[in-house]
Amino acid sequence: MSTTNDVNTSASANVAAAEKESEGSMFNVKWIFTTILATWPWFVASMAIAYLIAYMYLRYAVPIYKVGNEILIEDTRTNSNASAEALVLSDLGLHNQTDNINNVMRSFRKRELMEEVVRELGLNIRYFEHGRFKTGEFYTNNPFKVFVADSLVEGIGGTQSYTFVFDKDGSFQYKPTGTKEYLSGKLNEPLTLQFGEVKIVKTGYPLHYGTEYEVTLSNTATSALTFAGRIGLSRPDRSDNTINITSTDELPKRAIDVINVLVEVFKVADTAEKNRFAKHTIDFIDKRLEEVKKDLVSVETQLKDFKQDNQYINIASQSDMLIATTGEFSKKLSEAQVQLEIIKDIKQYVKNNGNLHEMIPTTLFIEDNNLTTYLVEYNNLLQERARKEASYQEESPVIKAIDKELKTARSIILENIKTLESSLNIQLDKLEERSANLNSQIRAVPKKEMQALDYTRQQSIKQELYLYLLKKKEETAVTQAATISGVTVINTASNYGAIYPDKGRIKNRAIIIGFLIPMVFFSVRRLLNNKVIAKSDIIPISDIPVLGEIGHYKDEESQIAVKRNSNTAMAEQFRALRTNIQFLLPDPDDKVILLTSSMSGEGKSFAAINLAITFAISGNKVVLIEFDLRKPKISKHLGVDNTNGISGYAIGKYDLNSIIVPSGVDENLYVIPSGHIPPNPAELMMLPKIDQMFEQLKKDFDYIIIDTAPAGLVTDAVLLNRFSDTCLYIVRQGYTYKQQIQLANDLKDTGRISKINFVINDVVFNRGYSYGYGYGYGYGYGYGYG
């Protein structure tokens, strides 16, 4: 007997473990599918409503279009119009095309460029028409136009908006948008608004009388900020020099115009920037030419006066040999002196605080690459500062950081000039040393010829410098004349199509959201529910196996759900429960089945009656004992006389055979009623007569089924457990609290009721259920459960 019980206990544990593992892996999928099947009208309705909302949104949503073009940035190394700085940096490996393209992309975002676009296209005045569900905007096809002085618009602080309603007689009503009171006005007549006087003129496009129109006016800076935010710049292929410029807008034609005009404005600005540097260089050269010209005229005048005063001494005839010998030397000396003069000019230019934010000419100096590189880098910093000034204040950390770099660069330039001056002076000292040798030869020439030769040498130096400056001015002027923008349009702006709303994506999301709303609702409701709804609510919190599931019984007149030859779903459920019990009790000596629950009303007596009938109709001789001595129900449900029963037998008033009565339901089913309700049921169950009763019943019957009081209320079930071979703990769907499962766990863990199994009662199967595959949310209650 004990071995068999151990086997049965092990089998129950194995069943519980298998169920727990199965539910753990299948619960989510099973629950989702069963929930959908049980409540599919909610899902269909929710998805239909969500789809309808998406459809209405798409019908009245204003589409946004994407427009773009493609431009080519000239390579600074191959462009004949490239600046000297770019060429020098490229030669020295300090400049690359990627930097150039990035600079161009940054330049396209300059505020001044978009402000010029706004002015050219008139984007600071926008026109709208309000429909019943949708507002549309005009561009070049507005039915009326607001004429206003540019200075007045620029004086608007941000944006002002006005609503107009036109009448057929040429009058109109208007008000600042957001206010209630309308004012009157007439077409083609002056109208005073908050910021100044304007005139409203009808255009050739249709004007809908009685319709609300809205006009927004913004200053150029505000409008430029709006449209600049829609511009996108990207490099589709970093291996080439192309840039894509895109813009998004409700009006694709406006976006196309904005991009095309932006490119043209950039070209003009780019060319102007290049010419500005060239002009600055020419101005510098002109200033030096004036100074050198004065010096040259002075020397030539002195030479002329000397010749006149000395009856024109023919130096050539008297000193041909000397001049021929010293010609090459004079040229080198002149070149060195020219270089030194240029270095001194640049030095004075850099030291002059008035030129702090002016670029330093670099085309004048070609003899020292290091100095040229530093000058180019300095000019690049100045250009970067100019670009940043468009976006930052003078006192901003960004501008201050650049100014700090400029100060450092000027110090480096002055240090290099100092070094170069020293080098040139050393070179001149060596030339002067050779000059001493030449002078010893010149002393042999008559004094007046020597003076004439000195004047001639000074004239030669000034002429060399003057001719050098003229040459550089000519080169710079030619470059300036040929300057063009480094941007070429490959593909003009075109409409890529609507990017918003994405109809397919919005509809798909609507359907998904429509599905998720009821799913989330049912999930939250399930999580917040504190009662047992399904087997999956028990498995995570208990190791006790669920032995069977009994459906909802609708007949309120009778508690007998199982009859001989019955093929109902209820009968099949009790047959399945019987089979599971027989599997747990394979030994013929294991025949006592105890039924209890947590509280009254969970269907314990109903389950006991029908389980007893199920065993009886299978040919087993069964006795059903009404051991719920406190609140007996079985005798009432079966119509059995309750006068003679257990309470009378226990005290010796009746013998056992006299209290065993036929059930009247099946010939194999007998009942032992409770008898009169005793004052001390627990003590009665401990009497020796009860032990004797069970010993005799085990000899006379195949199965003994005990209906006892709820274990959550009294100790009757624990007292009778000494006679049972297995205990069925009844749990009612939507009635038993989840925390009451812990009571069954405690009974098992403490050994008070060791061989315990759950049976879920009153399960609603008719909403998407297949037997044994989950549960819905119905909460029907049968008559007389208890």
Q: Read out DSSP for 307-373?
A: HHHTT---HHHHHHHHHHHHHHHHHHHHHHHHHHHHHHHHHHHHH-GGGTTSPPP-TT--S-HHHHH
* Residues 88, 92, 95, 98, CA torsion sign: positive
- Whether pLDDT at 19 is above 80: no
| Highest-confidence segment of 85-89, 204-208, 537-541 | 204-208
Sequence-separated (6 or more) residues with CB below 8 Å from residue 370 = 416
Determine the average pLDDT of the residues in 582-600: 94
**481 three-state secondary structure:** helix
Integer-rounded Cα radius of gyration of the chain: 53
- Which residue bears the tokens 């000292």? 429
Q: What pLDDT was estimated at residue 7? A: 44
Cα 781 from Cα 786, distance rounded (Å)? 11
- Whether pLDDT at 398 is above 60: yes
Q: Which residue has the higher pLDDT, 724 or 418?
A: 724
- Whether pLDDT at 92 is above 50: no
| Domain 531-763 annotated CATH 3.30.2350.10 | no
pLDDT level of residue 774 (50, 70, 90 thresholds): very low
Mean pLDDT of the chain: 83
Structure tokens at 44: 């269909």
For the chain, domain boundaries: 40-61+501-526, 64-269, 306-483, 531-763
In the chain, pLDDT over 70 holds for what percent of residues?
A: 82
Determine the average pLDDT of the residues in 233-260: 93
Q: Which residue has the higher pLDDT, 318 or 188?
A: 188
- Whether pLDDT at 24 is above 60: no
- Whether pLDDT at 547 is above 90: yes
Dihedrals phi, psi of 172, to nearest 5 degrees: -155, 160
The pLDDT tens digits for 440-487 are: 665 555 666 666 767 676 777 777 777 877 877 777 777 666 566 788
- Lateral strand order in the sheet of 622-627: 546-551, 756-763, 726-732, 592-597, 703-708, 622-627, 669-672, 661-662
For helices 569-584 and 604-617, the axis angle rounded to 10 degrees is 80
Amino acid at 265: V
Alpha-carbon torsion, ordered 82, 88, 91, 95, to 10 deg: -80
Lowest mean pLDDT among 146-150, 253-257, 533-537, 611-615: 533-537
Determine the average pLDDT of the residues in 338-363: 77
Q: What pLDDT was estimated at residue 542? A: 93
Nearest CA-CA partner of 67 in 242, 243, 248: 248
Nearest CA-CA partner of 749 in 581, 584, 543, 545: 543
The pLDDT tens digits for 123-156 are: 999 999 999 889 999 999 999 999 999 888 888 8
* Cα angle, residue 605 at apex, residues 601 and 608 outer, rounded to 5°: 140
Structure tokens at 286: 């002109």
Lowest mean pLDDT among 136-140, 257-261, 330-334, 599-603: 330-334
**531 three-state secondary structure:** strand
Q: What pLDDT was estimated at residue 323? A: 54
Q: What pLDDT was estimated at residue 348? A: 83
- Whether pLDDT at 296 is above 60: yes
Determine the average pLDDT of the residues in 596-613: 95
Q: What pLDDT was estimated at residue 387? A: 73
